[in-house]
Amino acid sequence: MTIVRLGYVAMSMELKNASPSKTMTFSQFQKIKDREAALRKLERIALINLNNTLRLLKHNAASDIHFYRLTSRLIPLANHEELLDWDYMKPLLPSLREVGDYAKENKMRLDFHPDHFVLINSPKKSIFQNSIMTLKLHYLLLKNMGIDTTHRCVLHVGGNYKETEKSLERFVDNWGLVPKSIQNIIMLENDDTSFTLGDTLYLCEKIGIPLVFDYHHHLAHHHHIHWEDNWSRVVKTWESSPLPIKMHISSPKSEKEFRYHSDYVDPTMFFTFLNQIKGSVPQIDCMIEAKQKDKALFKLMEDIKGWPNIEIIDASSFYIK
């Protein structure tokens, strides 16, 4: 028997006017002649984003959702090269702590998935350094929320550069330059074009961090279709983590556009995976990467009601026997 908990990404399709990703471009920033006034406007936008994040967490608590991915766009222009003197954390501390306290009180698992431009294995020093800056931002957001930062950021391996082995080894080389506090927040995910489950497992085992298995990505890009052969290795990468094992679930938009995410999750596809791993772990947290966000979560729970070997726990969780 395994407990399955479902989560969703960043935006709610049910809660109106609650975007946590409101932004300002640098071009818009420059149009405000008073720089201090422009910075205060950025801070107001960030505070709106944090307030909306708190609203989303309250929506999650009311809906029995215990797993949620925070947006990486909470603070617009946070690491822009022209704004490196901006102490953006100080005015946001009370709101960050409010978000973190609420999540902890309601026993919610929160994490991030920084954007694709975070490339630890980049051959360009400037891109690597910018990646570390971005990861530091995520670390500080979590720390100032009062949340244990361990294994809270999912990354793809990075660029392949048409040299898989060299790109993997460059990741290992660059990893030694990543501060320990940043290393501790990272998990790696297999992707749908460059690095397979086998490639990503190699790295996770070598540097000692968890692997987040993306089932849809594996079906789109693999050397060996039988992921089950490596499942015990995936589970082992989580042995030292304080968190339950995590995976990503989504469904292809169509056969022709297989790599693109559908609006909802195909329950048959999902349970093809779950029926293979049930009983191998006490709990698995499944992040839904579907266009309809929380609406896709609610639909999936509705779809599986009455299925054999399923016992519903609450609005986002169930046992699979």
Provide the pLDDT for residue 140.
Answer: 97
Q: What is the DSSP letter of 156?
A: E
Please tell me the predicted confidence (pLDDT) of residue 176.
Answer: 96
Q: What is the pLDDT of residue 139?
A: 98
Report the candidate in 49, 41, 138 with the shortest Cα–Cα distance to residue 95: 49
- Looking at residue 124, its pLDDT comes to 95
Q: In this structure, are residues 22 and 48 in contact, taking their beta carbons and an 8 Å threshold?
A: yes
Integer Cα distance of 189 and 217 in angstroms:
9
Handedness of CA 59, 63, 66, 69 (dihedral sign): negative
Q: Identify each DSSP E strand in 78-233 by its residue range.
A: 109-111, 153-156, 186-189, 211-214
pLDDT of residue 116: 87
CATH architecture entry for 112-243: Alpha-Beta Barrel (3.20)
Answer for the pair 252, 216: CB distance below 8 angstroms, yes or no: yes
Provide the pLDDT for residue 259: 87
In the chain, the DSSP E strands lie at 2-9, 67-69, 109-111, 153-156, 186-189, 211-214, 245-249, 283-288, 310-314, 317-320
Intervals of the chain under pLDDT 70: none
pLDDT of residue 162: 87
Which residues, 6 or more positions from 104, have their beta carbon under 8 angstroms from its beta carbon? 146, 147
